[in-house]
Amino acid sequence: MGLIYVSVKVANPADPSRALDETFMVDSGAVYSLVPRGDLEKIGITPHSRRKFILANGEEVARDVGSAIFDYQGHRGDSLVIFGEEGDKPLLGSTTLEGFGLILDPFRRELKPLPMLLA
């Protein structure tokens, strides 16, 4: 697993002019992206459901989820977003990276184009 940090714009799908820049940890083992609840509320994103997640240590947690637009250096990906609670840090997961058409190269610690397959 490799970790890097990147700056990503997060926007409200209902009003993309409502946006903010966030620094995310990119974790090749994470599936979903997480943004602090207060930041999502600032741009008007509201949760549409609540789901259970299992952490790396086996602990189960429940978090609200919604939808957001993510933009990284001109690569746009609309994705599910977890509403972070106190103590949660911004996390960019693999589904958002796939939306960007990018993948984490853990050896060079950089994001690279992901071969897009239709099969």
Q: List the alpha helices (DSSP H) in 1-119.
A: 37-42, 94-100
Tell me what pLDDT residue 18 has: 98
d(CA 41, CA 94): 23
What are the structural domains of the chain?
3-104 (2.40.70.10)
The pair of structure tokens assigned to 81 is 């977003």
What 3-state DSSP class applies to 26? strand
Tell me what pLDDT residue 73 has: 94
Nearest-5° Cα angle at 13, 36 to 45: 35
What 3-state DSSP class applies to 66? strand
pLDDT tens string, the chain, 119 residues long: the values are 457 999 999 999 999 999 999 999 998 788 999 999 999 999 999 999 999 999 889 999 999 999 999 999 999 999 999 999 998 999 999 999 998 988 888 888 888 888 777 66
Amino acid at 7: S
Q: By C-alpha distance, which of 61, 66, 64 is closest to 79?
A: 66
Tell me what pLDDT residue 55 has: 85
